[in-house]
Chain A
Amino acid sequence: MDGFGTDILNALILFANFVFVPALSYGSQLALGAVGVTLVYGVLRFANFAHGDVMAFGTMITIFVTWGLQSYGIGLGPLPTALLALPVAILGTIALVLFYDKTVFQFYRRNRSAPVIYLVASVGVMFITNGLVRLFIGPDDRRFADGERFIIKARAFKKMTGLSEGLSLQVTQVITVVVAIIAVAALFWFLNKTRTGKAMRAYSDNEDLALLSGINPDRVVMVTWILAGTLACIAGTLYGLDKSFKPFTYFHLLLPIFAAAIVGGIGQPVGAIIGGYVVAFSEVMATYAYKKFLKYLLPDDMAPSTLMQFLSTDYKFAISFIILVLVLLIRPTGIFRGRVY
């Protein structure tokens, strides 16, 4: 019976190491991205396709500032220097999105254009941002995480516990989850407790009614962009820290982010967060091979001979699509009943 107890522990650790921890940090990154998309959708009423590339732009500034700090020998010890660079990058990203609003989106807002026109304009903005990022930092893969890499190394964990499976916990994964929790908590406090936050929600619910009660629309729009820019920069930096920065992969992130926002119910911040984790966990769990996991749990004669993998990892991206299709078919409004025009 003792052997079975360790088997269960081994199975759980295996699952945590390869599924739970990676999916949790990936989910947090998607959630932050999806909240940004959903806010813009809720208040400004269009799907902002430029969000992925704005994330890349913010991360790029983080990297530049990180390099600058590193050259002066300034760091955070065991934590990545990028955390120190993040506030500057957030300001830069906010400046970028406000600039885009003034030069592009404001025009369509004044003309009361249809959402689809906004959407196409945002595709244009996406390509411009994409080009800018490649122009400034280049298309290459860059790793900018410094400081300690691990909180627990898998091998050390094995030695410590005597189990045959190891759990590795990277500093960046923990930072991702912690920063995501702080950012989301701050956002909800802002939306629910402050005057401006309440004004935003009112404007989102009913624009005309909000205007009649004396809410300044320009201010609401500006605050929305500030929040979206901040979230995009944080999400992008966390993703880059945890994995690596490459402009092209940020462009690809757009799909899971939109899937997350739609699954949760577009326009609903809580939904976007849940959606982020739903998409991340589905991606990781559907492509994981459960052979070893089941081998620990089942008696020897029932151990699977195949890999027990639902989908090959080649189809990881397809899962976002599948979820998207399923949600649109079964519950088009998403989990939290988002608005659908």
Chain B
Amino acid sequence: MKKITIAALAAIMASSVAQAEIKMGVILGFTGPIESLTPAMADSAELAFKEASESGKLLGGETISVVRGDSTCIDAAAGSAAAERMITADGVAGIMGADCSGVTTAIASNVAIPNGVVMVSPSATSPALTDIEDNGYFFRTAPSDARGGQVMAQVVIERGITDVAVTYENSDYGKGLSDSFITNFKALGGEVTATAAHENGKADYSAEVAALSAGGSDILVVIGYLDQGGRGIIQSSIDTDAFENYVLGDGMIGQSLIDNVDGDLTGAIGSLPGSESSGALMFLDLAASAGLDGDGPFRAESYDAAALMVLAMQAGGNADRATIAENLMSVANAPGKRLMPGELARGLEILAAGGEVNYEGASNVELTDVGEASGTYKILEIKDGAFNTIDVR
């Protein structure tokens, strides 16, 4: 009789543990300047959470449910409120996000870090985030723009371009990347003939374009967002034939730019964090089998951000906030078994058995000692109405 009661109790306890879902937050700008990019990013992150849940091996069969929040990309107050709600009301264990550098900085320093919640951003690339006082709670699978600007500058110089005009979106992201680009470009012997910031959401960018073109350069470097001012600048420039070709920052890369600009963008080049490694290709297959297109900005990074948090939970054997923070670095870097996208189940098994993993994932994840990706970049060129990868570095 006693045995039966104990067995029943054990069964109830076991089932109640399995039923308690782990809540994870996904906070991205579902409205705002990059709203055309974020749905696919969120889907990619949720793909990793689903993979872990369905494997049945996460902390002995736990499942993850996702809470989505809108970072708005530009409105720090709205983004912080969404994160606050996620952490206090929904009780998420970790946050995949945010996206744009400005809101990410605000959410991290005002909400996530004070509450001891890990944030893994797939796309915030501002160099300022490298030095953020994060107490070990902020990570990113996107590399810093300090590296992004360097890559862009090299690509431009290698094309034999010696002088450019630069316009950047007036934000943490735009300023950071453009500063890095300009410093590196000048160091490589290039000349910047004019710089002008632009604001988002204006009807008319002809004044900015006029000032930029007055420097005399034929090439315009556009660092901004493709659904916003960046597109306006390019449209206005095409209308007045101010520039012959464009170099695009990572926020400008997406099919919607080509579709919405009235004019020919053939020959424009850009760089974007990402790679064509075996991991990247495996991710494309994995996404395709789930009905997603994995080939797009920050989708691989989003998947990896989510995967890292799942593995960190498993490594510490607990789905609480502190465990994720403590174990994230160890699952991302060597030593351990290399893990590719789609191999989360195997990774969870190894960790459960007390082993170690080194998550490579879709974007060759290798975190530096401050917890950010060291950075592989794809170089793209617009040809026949689409972005084509021409190089990886």
Contact = CB atoms under 8 A, between A and B. Distances in A.
Nearest to B167: A313
B211 A168 contact: no
Interface string B180-204: 0000000000000010111101111
A288 B213 CA distance: 10
B239 A307 contact: no
A292 to B, nearest CB: 5
B16 interface: no
B239 A170 contact: yes
25 contacts: A17-B240, A18-B209, A18-B214, A18-B240, A18-B242, A19-B210, A22-B206, A22-B210, A168-B240, A170-B239, A240-B203, A244-B232, A248-B201, A288-B210, A288-B214, A289-B194, A289-B212, A291-B214, A309-B214, A312-B196, A312-B211, A313-B197, A313-B207, A314-B170, A314-B199
Interface of A: 17-19, 22, 26, 141, 149, 153-155, 158, 166, 168, 170, 239-240, 243-246, 248-249, 283-284, 287-293, 295, 307-309, 312-314, 316
Given A287-B207, A313-B196, A168 B241 contact: yes
Interface of B: 170, 194, 196-199, 201-204, 206-216, 232, 239-242, 262
B324 to A, nearest CB: 37
B216 A239 contact: no
A155 B239 CA distance: 10
A289 B215 contact: yes
Contacts of B209: 18
Contact of A249 (B170, B197, B203, B213): B203
A244 B198 CA distance: 17
Contacts of A155: 241
The 8 closest A-B pairs by CB, nearest first: A154-B241, A289-B214, A18-B210, A243-B203, A249-B203, A289-B211, A243-B204, A292-B214
Contact of A307 (B204, B214, B232, B240): B214
Contact of A316 (B194, B207, B212, B216): B207
Nearest to A153: B241
Contacts of B262: 149
Q: What does DSSP make chain B's interface, helix, strand, loop or mixed?
A: mixed
Given A153-B241, A314-B197, A244 B203 contact: yes
Contacts of A141: 201, 203
Residues of A contacting B: mostly: helix
Given A18-B206, A313-B211, A314-B170, A307 B201 contact: no
A155 B197 CA distance: 26
Interface centre among B194, B197, B204, B214 (most CB of A within 10 A): B214
A291 B170 contact: no
Nearest to A293: B214
A188 B380 CA distance: 57
B241 A289 contact: no
Contacts of A18: 206, 209-210, 213-214, 240, 242
Nearest to B227: A141
A196 B242 CA distance: 49
A288 to B, nearest CB: 5
A153 B210 CA distance: 16
A307 B170 contact: no
B201 A290 contact: no
B204 A26 contact: yes
Contact of B211 (A239, A249, A307): A307
A292 B215 contact: yes
A18 B211 CA distance: 9
Contacts of B203: 141, 239-240, 243-246, 249
B207 to A, nearest CB: 5
A312 B203 CA distance: 18
Given A17-B240, A248-B201, A314-B197, A291 B216 contact: yes
Contact of A166 (B206, B211, B241): B241
B330 to A, nearest CB: 45
Nearest to A289: B214
Contacts of B196: 312-314
Contacts of B198: 313
Contacts of A287: 207, 210-211
A170 to B, nearest CB: 6
A307 B241 contact: no
Contacts of A289: 194, 210-212, 214-215
Nearest to B216: A292
A285 to B, nearest CB: 10
A153 B264 CA distance: 13
A257 B242 CA distance: 28
Contacts of A309: 211, 214
Contacts of A245: 203
A284 B262 CA distance: 24
Contacts of B240: 17-18, 154, 168
Residue of B204, B207, B241 with most partner-chain A CB within 10 A:
B207
Contacts of A295: 216
A7 B204 CA distance: 29
B74 to A, nearest CB: 13
Contacts of B214: 18, 288-293, 307-309
Contacts of B201: 141, 246, 248-249
A245 B199 CA distance: 16
Nearest to B31: A139
Nearest to A240: B203
Contacts of B211: 287-289, 307, 309, 312-313
Contacts of A240: 203
B69 to A, nearest CB: 20
Contacts of B232: 244
Given A243-B203, A313-B208, 11 more contacts: A19-B210, A22-B206, A168-B241, A246-B201, A249-B201, A288-B207, A289-B215, A293-B214, A307-B194, A307-B211, A313-B211
Contacts of B170: 314
A84 to B, nearest CB: 21
B204 A284 contact: no
